[in-house]
Amino acid sequence: MKNIWSLTKKDLMVLTKDRTAVVWMFVLPVIFILLFAFLGARALQGALSGGENDSRAPLPVVNLDEDGTLSAQFLKSLEQTGSYRVLLLTREQADQQLNKIKIGRYLVVPENFSSDLSTGKPVTVTIITHPSDNPQAYQSFLQVVSGAASDTSLELQILDGIRRMADMQAGNPEASMAFDPEKVLNQARTQFERSRQQPLVAVVQRYPDTGVVKVQEEVDLSQSFVPGMTVLFVFLSAATVAQAIHEERRGGSLRRLIAAPLMKWELLLGKMLPIFILTLLQILVMFLIGAVVLPLLNLGRLGIGNDPIAWAITSILMALCATSLGIFIASIARTESQISGMSNAILWIAGFLGGALMPIFIIQRFPFLNFLSRLVPQTWANMAYYDILARGKTLADIVPYLGILLLFTLVFAIIGIRKFRYE
């Protein structure tokens, strides 16, 4: 064990003194995160805005109460802010545009909206939201819808209160003080408080094909870009492992290490540990960028989900898989050009298929790309991260993804060790 740690410390010192390696492992990933998060947020926000000539952002609505007077009044109040225009769609049109990410969300007005409100029954309007929806755009959308719902609730409940006072006066003609200013004011206050505590029009959010969730829940773009860039650059470190071994072999130090009192497995483990430690540090740095820097730029806030143990195990297993992949590359690559050229090209392609350069759920919409994506370990690491960060899943929920990631790790390690050339 002492020999392994000595070899590990030596390689760590060499790697940290290499400015190119430091830039590649730490500086470049941070630049990519900031660039992709900024451009992705702007591009997605533009795509979700609809692209029409009207300067106002579209507010897609599926109105199932087409002939209702109160639903028409509600839709009119949605446009009174001046920043949105109501875009009426059928349910089929809305679902199609949501699936193609042409819109990020749409509002559903139920068919019983006017009839229930006219009898004082509460109704619920639903915001159907795509998982990739921009959180800032969603919050703006929610504020407009909630504001119109509150105004509608308040207006109807105050009118109902005044109507009740009128009925009381009609039933008792001598009650000349029924509309005394003080009584009217107290009635208005009562109805105002009631409209806040028990609104007639409630707003809920729902994702496609899922149950109802709280309206405060947000989907953050950082939950896609930061883990994606992390997975990409952690697996790109496999080329660094292969390159380091190739340098040892070319300089003759590998042969001297073999002559030293080291077992072959100790030698390989000593070469793997430095990159494994650095990739874990790389993961921590990139997630800190998502948690600290991105919020300052209004590009989202990244946490580690509801199960920190699941996040930690996923990170450790991914770093181990990438390191084993480095041994695998070193065992099959014969020249430096094969390591730097072929391996990097393959790793970038695998990163794209695995959802590093665009959200994995977009890749999965294309059958052929979806098939290819399942053949690379990056996909399973990204899916595990996405479930932990965006869906709040726990360790038990992502065990299948971790199992496949572990299988890739074992395959890379076994083939790499068997075919490794110690000369």
271 and 189 share one domain: no
Residues 6+ apart with CB under 8 A from 181: none
Residue 292's pLDDT is what?
86
37 and 69 share one domain: no
Q: How far is CA 136 from CA 41, 43, 104, 219, in A?
A: 10, 13, 11, 10
Q: Name the residue type at position 265.
A: W
Q: How far apart are CA 61 and CA 39, in angstroms?
A: 28
Domain that includes residue 182, residue range: 49-213
266 and 311 share one domain: yes
> 245: number of CA atoms within 13 Å, CB side?
35
299 and 395 share one domain: yes
Q: Name the residue type at position 35.
A: L
207 and 81 share one domain: yes
308 and 324 share one domain: yes
Q: What would the two tokens of residue 184 be?
A: 């009217």
Last residue of a domain, one of 213, 233, 248: 213
DSSP string, 21-43: HHIIIIIHHHHHHHHHHHHHHHH
60 and 37 share one domain: no
Whose tokens are 């349910």? That residue is 91
pLDDT, mean of each 10-residue run, the chain (423 residues):
65 68 73 73 51 68 90 85 83 83 87 85 88 74 82 63 54 52 52 51 73 41 76 86 73 61 68 84 90 77 86 95 88 76 80 83 80 93 89 90 96 86 61
CATH of residue 151: 3.40.1710.10
18 and 158 share one domain: no
Q: Name the residue type at position 378.
A: Q
Residue 265's pLDDT is what?
66
Residue 251's pLDDT is what?
63
226 and 194 share one domain: no
Q: How far is CA 261 from CA 10, 37, 41, 125, in A?
A: 16, 49, 55, 73
Residue 320's pLDDT is what?
94
Residues 6+ apart with CB under 8 A from 313: 395, 402
Last residue of a domain, one of 213, 248, 281: 213
pLDDT single digits (tens) 172-203: 555 545 445 555 545 555 544 554 445 567 78
Q: How far is CA 147 from CA 56, 79, 141, 150, 188, in A?
A: 18, 11, 10, 5, 19
Q: How far apart are CA 326 and CA 208, in angstroms?
A: 40
Last residue of a domain, one of 182, 213, 244: 213
Q: How far apart are CA 63 and CA 90, in angstroms?
A: 8
Residue 196's pLDDT is what?
47
Q: Are 224 and 132 in contact (CB under 8 A)?
A: yes
Strand order in the sheet with 57-63: 84-88, 57-63, 105-109, 123-129, 201-206, 212-213
Point out which residues pair with 376 in neighbouring strands: none
Residue 51's pLDDT is what?
45
Please tell me the total count of domains within the chain: 2
Q: Are 301 and 215 in contact (CB under 8 A)?
A: no
DSSP-derived 3-state class of residue 15: helix
Whose tokens are 């029409």? That residue is 52
Q: Is 345 exposed, middle or buried (0-12, 13-18, 19+ CB in 10 A)?
A: exposed
407 and 355 share one domain: yes
Residue 64's pLDDT is what?
93
207 and 284 share one domain: no
28 and 74 share one domain: no
Residue 156's pLDDT is what?
65
pLDDT single digits (tens) 88-146: 999 988 888 887 667 889 999 999 888 888 787 888 999 998 876 777 677 778 888 88
Residue 284's pLDDT is what?
92
Residue 386's pLDDT is what?
85
pTM over 0.85, yes/no: no
